[in-house]
Structure formats: C-alpha cells, structure tokens
Amino acid sequence: MEQVFRAASDELTAGNDMVIATVVKTSGSTPQKPGAKLLVRADGSGVGTLGGGCVEGDIWFAASQLLKSGGPAEMRDYELNEDLAAQDGLVCGGTMYFLLDPLRTQESGHDFNSEVIAAYEGGAPVAIASLMKTPSGSSLAVGSKLLIRENGSTTGSLGDEKLDSDAVKAARNLMAMGKNDYITTESGAEYFVEAYTTPPTLVLAGGGHVSKAISNIASTLGFRIFVIDDREEFSNPDRFPEAEQTVVSEYGSAFEKLPIGTNSFVVIATRGHRYDTSATAAAMRTPASYVGLLGSKRKTILIFEELFAEGFTMEQVKSVRSPIGLDISARTPEEIALSIMSEIVGFRLGGDGGTLKLDQRLIDKAAEKAAYRPENAESAEPVGAD
C-alpha cells in the first residue's frame, strides 16, 4: 500500500484533506484481506482498492460523506450477502470491517505518514496501531493512533497507557515482514496494528537457469533482487536486468556485501555441492528469515551433515528449507521457480501451501440448493423415487 501513503503525502503537501479507508478485519471469504487501503480525495478521486464492486463503491461514498461532514474516524462493517452477489458478482459470503480515517491538513499526525514512507525506502521499520472499538463507558476515541518505532519509542497514543504498552509488544512481532494483526483485549478495546518495512529482499546464490526464472517471477511480486555468483558471466545486469545488484564473489563472503535483514529470503542454487555448502552456511549467519536450498533429498542430507560438522545446531539446520519449494511435480526451470516462489510467498504471508479446493460437503450443499431453486423445483423428483 505504499502508493496510498505516497499519494497521501502529496495531498498533505498540497493542503488537501482526504479519507483513508483500510480493511482491518475479515471473516469468511472476502475480495480483500486486512491491510488493503483506499484513499479518497475531496474531489472524489482515489488511490488503491478495497476489492471493487458494491463494497468499494459504498465505502467510497461513506468516505466522501465523512469528508464533507468533518466527522471523526469511524469503523464500519460490511456483510457480503447473497443480495450483493446477485447485484455485483461478489460471491464471497463473508464480512469486512473498515476503518474510515479522515486525514486533515489542520490536524497533527503528518509525521506518521512520512515515517511510513521512510520505512518503505529502507529506513527502520515502524508500525501504526489504530483504536477500532472502545470499551463500554470509555472516553477513548475510535481512530486514535500510536506510531511505534523499531527501537520502542512511540508518538501518539491509543488513549490508555496499558493499551499503548500492549500495542508496542504486538508491533515487535509484526515489523520484520510488515505484517498486521487485529487485537481484542480483555477490557473490550480492539485495535489494529499494521507494520511497514522495506519491500521483501530476495538473494539468489547462483546465477543458473532456475535463478534466472525465479528472478523473472520475483520481480512481478515486488521483491528487491540480488544475485551472487563467482562467475561474472552468471552474475551481471544483462543476465539479470531485474536485479538491484549483481555480485561476483565467492559465496562465503558475498552476503556481507548485501543489505540483508529479517525481511530477506535466500535461495541457494549454485553449480555444485561444495559451493552449496559454503553459500548455505554463510546465509545461515545472516538475519534472513528464510534460507532455502535447491536439490534432492540425498544432496540435502549430505550438506546437512557438513553443516552439523561445522558446528551449526539442530535448530539452525532445521530452519533451512530443503528440498526447497512446494510439491507441484515441477520439472522445468520455470516450473521449479514457480514452486520456490510459491513457498516463499506462503512463508512470508503465513500460508500453509495447501489446496483451496472446496471439500465434498460444500459441493453437496451447492448441488442441494440448486435442486430446490424455483426453476428446478417442479421438475425435481424426490430422492428415492422410482
């Protein structure tokens, strides 16, 4: 949602008010997930998306009305029922919860926006906690905000010292990969915490065919790409035009030359066993959250033996994802690349890699409902009829 924050910065600089609508929570099947944003300008134009259709149209209208009324931030829920499906084709069947947050030039809080942009550009990660629901009888205000920095310092407040303290703790678990969470407290207060950091970084150790295919896919997913190989012909801007940097170096020291953090992902795909071991060991010493090794199970076992011999612990060795990728029976470099990037995206976003296919119970339910539609009821025979 970087584009929304940049657009907000432009509007603030121009002295224009706006409303930012954010999906903060969902239940069931919905067209967008928490974190999706839509900026609505005073002239009716916007940046970002909440999933399109009636949902986005209605929230867009509500945001425009909020701008005109000058009212405070508010939380809204939107149920995606069968009537909506008939109108708009959004056959989702869930509920979406939104924060409609006015951002007005005469009010404070502009630094929040600038610090988020700085985080996207490589600065320290930050998080913003927004109060969504207040306890009964409380004087707290929906939309109150707390900016949380990586070093634990804060600006603003949710209106309660304990809520602020708890939000800081929650933010620390989200900052590494820019995740978000909706938190309900024992007191009845609810708040949404969203962390912001640099785009995910992908380091490809080895510039062969699979890495080249991975680079093509990763660039479309917004990853910053870095390539390492000890041969110049396999690590250069012509071969990897998507890469931010190509490094020609032996693998043991190459990682020290790259900006690797917790939002980094390393793929080891060198040309040989000896190089794989060196690259894997070096990658394991970085802060990267994910290290994956390309190869067969036999090759993996041999390299793991060498890692244990070098003094790595069981926990450290188990953290290496190998053989890397999801099981899609991949054969070609392009198919293998798809398998690997699918696992990396799932790891980053918290997916389990399983199929989304409906189970038989739900398919049976759809068949049963179809049989009793008015257009089918007269011709349908009762179950068990001769």
Q: What is the pLDDT of residues 260-283, one digit of tens each?
A: 988 999 999 999 999 999 999 999
Residue type for 333, please?
Answer: P
Question: What torsion, rounded to 10 degrees, do the Cα atoms 252, 254, 259, 265 define?
Answer: -60
**Statement to judge: residues 211 and 341 lie in one domain:** yes
**Statement to judge: residues 181 and 233 lie in one domain:** no
Mean of the pLDDT values across residues 371-375?
Answer: 77
Q: Is residue 163 part of a domain?
A: yes
Mean of the pLDDT values across residues 224-244?
Answer: 97
What's the pLDDT tens digit per position in 197-208?
Answer: 988 999 999 999
- Using the predicted structure, report yes or no on whether residue 244 has a pLDDT greater than 60: yes
**Statement to judge: residues 238 and 324 lie in one domain:** yes
Question: In this structure, how many other beta carbons lie within 10 angstroms of the beta carbon of residue 93?
Answer: 15
**Statement to judge: residues 93 and 182 lie in one domain:** no
Mean of the pLDDT values across residues 228-255?
Answer: 96
What's the pLDDT tens digit per position in 304-353?
Answer: 999 999 999 999 999 999 999 999 999 999 999 999 999 999 999 888 89
**Statement to judge: residues 190 and 210 lie in one domain:** no
Least confident of 73-77, 107-111, 356-360: 107-111
What does the pLDDT read at residue 261? 87
| Domain-ending residue, one of 198, 224, 254 | 198
Residues with Cβ within 8 Å of residue 143, at least 6 apart in sequence:
72, 73, 74, 99, 101, 130, 131
- Using the predicted structure, report yes or no on whether residue 26 has a pLDDT greater than 60: yes
Q: Is residue 245 part of a domain?
A: yes
Q: Is residue 99 part of a domain?
A: yes
DSSP code, position 303: H
**Statement to judge: residues 190 and 160 lie in one domain:** yes
**Statement to judge: residues 253 and 172 lie in one domain:** no
What does the pLDDT read at residue 91? 47
Q: Is residue 373 part of a domain?
A: no
The answer to whether the CB of 293 falls within 8 A of the CB of 300 is yes
Q: Is 101 exposed, middle or buried (0-12, 13-18, 19+ CB in 10 A)?
A: buried
What percent of the chain has a predicted confidence (pLDDT) above 70? 92
C-alpha count within 13 angstroms, C-beta hemisphere, residue 168:
15
- Using the predicted structure, report yes or no on whether residue 377 has a pLDDT greater than 60: no
How many folded domains does the chain comprise? 3
Highest averaged pLDDT of the listed ranges 12-16, 74-78, 171-175, 232-236? 232-236
**Statement to judge: residues 177 and 51 lie in one domain:** no
Per-residue pLDDT band for 385 (boundaries 50, 70, 90) equals very low
Mean of the pLDDT values across residues 224-247?
Answer: 97
What does the pLDDT read at residue 104? 84
**Statement to judge: residues 35 and 21 lie in one domain:** yes
Q: Is residue 355 part of a domain?
A: no
| Domain-ending residue, one of 52, 74, 107 | 107
Q: Is residue 85 part of a domain?
A: yes
- Using the predicted structure, report yes or no on whether residue 383 has a pLDDT greater than 70: no
Question: In this structure, how many other beta carbons lie within 10 angstroms of the beta carbon of residue 257?
Answer: 12
Q: Which residue has the higher pLDDT, 119 or 374?
A: 119
**Statement to judge: residues 207 and 344 lie in one domain:** yes
Mean pLDDT over the full length of the chain: 90
What percent of the chain has a predicted confidence (pLDDT) above 90? 72
Cross-strand pairs, 247: 228
**Statement to judge: residues 185 and 205 lie in one domain:** no
Q: Is residue 374 part of a domain?
A: no
| 324-327, Cβ contacts within 8 angstroms, sequence gap of 24 or more | 324/267, 324/292, 324/293, 324/294, 324/295, 325/292, 325/294, 326/353
- Using the predicted structure, report yes or no on whether residue 358 has a pLDDT greater than 80: yes
Question: What's the pTM value of the predicted model, to 2 decimals?
Answer: 0.76
| Domain-ending residue, one of 164, 198, 232 | 198
Q: Which domain holds residue 290?
A: 201-349
Give residue 353's Cα distance to chain centre.
15
What does the pLDDT read at residue 82? 54
CATH number at residue 245: 3.40.50.720
What does the pLDDT read at residue 226? 98
What's the pLDDT tens digit per position in 81-126?
Answer: 655 544 544 445 678 999 999 998 766 555 688 999 999 988 889 9
**Statement to judge: residues 156 and 191 lie in one domain:** yes
Q: Is residue 150 part of a domain?
A: yes
